[in-house]
Structure 1
Amino acid sequence: MDARFLGIADLVEAPSVAVVVDVMRAYTVAAWAFAQGAEKIVLAESLDEALALKARHPDWVALKDGPPAPGFDAVNSPGLLRSVDLGGRTVVQKTTAGTVGALAVKEASLVLCAGFVVAEATAQLLRTRGSDRVTFVVTGEDGQAEEDLACAQYIARRVDEAGTDAAEFLRRAAESRAAAELAEGVRQGVHPDDVALCLELDRFPFAMVATLEGALMVLRPVSPRNDSGGTGS
């Protein structure tokens, strides 16, 4: 597989197949939302759009980065979200980097959103789809986030080499600036378990596919074993 690793600002054209990586914490949170029963996640372009969607659909769960805020139901923390019952609910998610990255490649034929918690399922889906060329979008720190790059490189390696050891990639993520900021309380809306939860390898058996549904970019869980999608290249 021919893999490219780009920051959001480096995306000059829509790739055919994109894997958008945000380990700490957008797509770890998204995976937990599905594990807690969410039906789908709408990726909002702005806080205002998230609030507008929530106003139109009061039963939806609006989620954002940082501290709690009026109009929002939850924050972007896996440690805090894991105790919330989201059975059958729609989540609206707006984060600093993760959701921005997915929206930047919304014209791609296949968009996967990933972190370590869904790494193997993501690699499996790429193998199933026969994806020859894949653009990995490293969302954090203008494409320099070590945790996102490590995860992206690990998934890319797993596509071609199923026996790839995750230890070195997880170590890089654990020593990243984002991990330090979460652990030290620099960021708000944080649970003490967030870093550990973001570094749980293959916690969930599904990949996460984002598609345009009307005007909205919608994320859903997909089992690689039951995937019936077309082939990407």
Structure 2
Amino acid sequence: MDARFVGIAELVEAPSVAVVVDVMRAFTVAGWAFAQGAEKIVLAESLDEALALKARHPGWVALKDGPPAPGFDAVNSPGRLRSVDLGGRTVVQKTTAGTVGALAVKEASLVLCAAFVVAEATARVLRARGCDGVTFVVTGEEGRADEDLACAQYIAERAVGADVDASEFLRRAGESRAAAELTERVRKGVHHDDVALCLELDRFPFAMVAALEDSLMVLRPYAVPSPADGTSN
């Protein structure tokens, strides 16, 4: 498999297959939203669009980066979201990096959104599809976020069936600038368990696939193929 690792700004055209990685915290949060029962997640272009969608659909749950704000129901924190019952609900998510990255590749034939919590499931989808070339979009810090790059590199290794030790990749993520900013509460809307939750490997058994639905980019959980595919776990 030919794996490319690029920042959002380096995307000059839509790749065929894209894995958009945001470990801290957008796609860790997305994983938790599905675990808490959410049916789908609409990835919003802007805060204004998120609020407009919420206004048209009062039953939807809108969340954003940073501190709580009028019109939004939740913040982009796995620690805060894990206690929220989202059974059957639609979530509208707008973040600084993750949602931007997913929207940047919305024309790709396959878009997977990923973090460590769904790493193996994501790799299994890539293996099952037999993807020859995959573009990993490192969303944080203009493509330099080590937590996102580490996760992307780990998934790329697992996607070709390599029996790789995850500990070094998780260490890099835990020592990243984003982890430090969350720990030190430089970022707002933080729960004290957020970093630990973002470093949980394979917490969830599903992958997350984003696709255009009626002009909106919609993320849904995706049941992974059986592990009986001839590769190690």
Normalising by the residue count of structure 2, what TM-score does the alignment of the two structures yield? Answer: 0.96
Of residues 158-167 and 137-146 in structure 1, the stretch that sits farther from structure 2 once superposed is 158-167
Aligned to 1:17: 17
Which SS does the other structure have where 1:211 is aligned? strand
Of residues 10-19 and 162-171 in structure 1, the stretch that sits farther from structure 2 once superposed is 162-171
Q: Which amino acid aligns with 2:12?
A: V
Q: Which amino acid aligns with 2:72?
A: F
Q: Tell whether 2:80 aligns with 1:80.
A: yes
Structure 1 stretches of at least 4 aligned residues deviating more than 2 Å after TM superposition: none
What is the CA–CA distance in structure 2 between the aligned matches of 1:214 and 1:16, rounded to whole Å?
21
What is the CA–CA distance in structure 2 between the aligned matches of 1:163 and 1:82, rounded to whole Å?
31
| Corresponding pairs, count | 226
What is the CA–CA distance in structure 2 between the aligned matches of 1:163 and 1:120, rounded to whole Å?
12
Q: Which amino acid aligns with 1:173?
A: A
Aligned to 1:3: 3
Q: CA deviation at 1:161?
A: 2.9
What's the C-alpha RMSD, in Å, of the aligned pairs?
0.7
Aligned to 2:111: 111
Percent of aligned positions with the same letter in both sequences?
Answer: 85
Q: CA deviation at 1:148?
A: 0.2
Q: CA deviation at 1:224?
A: 1.1
What is the CA–CA distance in structure 2 between the aligned matches of 1:83 and 1:183, rounded to whole Å?
20
Which SS does the other structure have where 1:113 is aligned? strand
Q: CA deviation at 1:214?
A: 1.1
Of residues 154-163 and 138-147 in structure 1, the stretch that sits farther from structure 2 once superposed is 154-163
Aligned to 1:44: 44
Aligned residue runs from structure 1 range 134-149, under 5 A:
134-149=134-149
CA deviation profile, 1:179-219 (whole Å, cap 9, x unmatched): 00000010000000000000000000000000000110000
Q: CA deviation at 1:168?
A: 0.5
Aligned residue runs from structure 1 range 1-233, under 5 A:
1-225=1-225
Aligned to 2:230: none
CA deviation profile, 1:123-164 (whole Å, cap 9, x unmatched): 000001111100000000000000000000000001113411
Which SS does the other structure have where 1:86 is aligned? coil
Q: CA deviation at 1:30?
A: 0.2
Which SS does the other structure have where 1:58 is aligned? coil
CA deviation profile, 1:80-110 (whole Å, cap 9, x unmatched): 0000000000000000000000000000000
CA deviation profile, 1:41-66 (whole Å, cap 9, x unmatched): 00000000000000000000000000
Q: Gaps spanning 5+ residues in structure 1: where?
A: 227-233
What is the CA–CA distance in structure 1 between the aligned matches of 2:225 and 2:124, rounded to whole Å?
8
Aligned to 1:231: none
Which SS does the other structure have where 1:195 is aligned? helix
What is the CA–CA distance in structure 2 between the aligned matches of 1:162 and 1:54, rounded to whole Å?
43
